[in-house]
Structure 1
């Protein structure tokens, strides 16, 4: 019985993965070259990231799994009645098939839902807004109590903050899960260990690390945080957070040991993509 359940879960996951843009690109590479499927998957993963395809494109329209949502501006003070708050239309990634299915198969349904909550809250905060627990319950079609418990358990287990409207007063000094992942990388942990310890997808952890390396190197080239944000295709808030982490750890032995890897990754993206972009594109 247990074996049948596991097989059904894995079969469902594989069928869902076939709908992704990356899977389509993998099939094209396999059919048009002599590459194995494993080699094609590696090529496809790097292609969509390096060349700004799909969700990596700064000008991308809604991707599969994304939605528009009206969220409260992060500038609104805590305790202000919702009826008097300013709302903005933002883009949220409710479903990210590869990431969500990886977490679901390894850690279960609750971890998958927590992964979705954390991702959407980070995306919302990057767009200078904050989601409420009611927002999240409505989007995920579950009870507010379930969302509240997921957020409480995640924050306690991983010692980091999920940026929601209810946590607004703690966001300044608090450490978000993305910051925690980058800190672990700087301190010497490998992406696989970070993903396992935080019950997160490896793809997402690698994206955090890549963005950090790109931002640090791009800033060294252009010396302008706004230009760096535009070139890398990320929010100004994320750029400032990554540069704060760089400054915080720059003089530590751990950072010096990672410095060559950070420079190598940042330089690769600068030479292949970032240096060719014009600020404002």
Structure 2
């Protein structure tokens, strides 16, 4: 039992020491932050930020690793580059008991790799973080192309959307959630089933489907620029719908 108390005691000492150091720094070099109460609040907030970014290595299980992912709540916008994107610490399982069991049962390396890719993307999202394909490539020591191909094949086969940063934040060349939703619609699935399979609301699915149907109708008579202007959509979005249309022809 005594061993279980050690981490919390160390953490308490580290927190207390850090807060004292922050207060000392403010009082000596940042005196424009006036007032003892304000300084105390600022120090507490800063210590909390550090605490959230601090994970004790003895709390990791065998096969797990500490990593940093982009905060799922922080969507990219103009002027926000990678250096300005807030990161959050997460624990990921690189090797699980399931992986070892699959190996014993004769599953191929490719099948095991797919299981890892799916699990790790989901683990990050459950901790309110997102990983890129590049993150996954570093973690699993494979190429980014391998990760992209396996993620795409899994989503197309299952209809399930993997919570990668490219998909959730709609950046890069990722297979978008719109594309998966529309592919399921084209295959004849009903909206309630599509919503369940893609973890979206029925309203969101209906919105994509209605926009797709409008573009489909107008694309027979107009260019993408004209469609975008009439429907009040971005040209790139219209072109994405048209690409999906062309794939089905």
TM-score for both structures, normalised by structure 2: 0.43
Q: Which has the higher relative contact order, 1 or 2, with Cα contacts under 8 A spaced 6 or more apart?
A: 1
Q: Which has the larger radius of gyration?
A: 2
TM-score for both structures, normalised by structure 1: 0.38
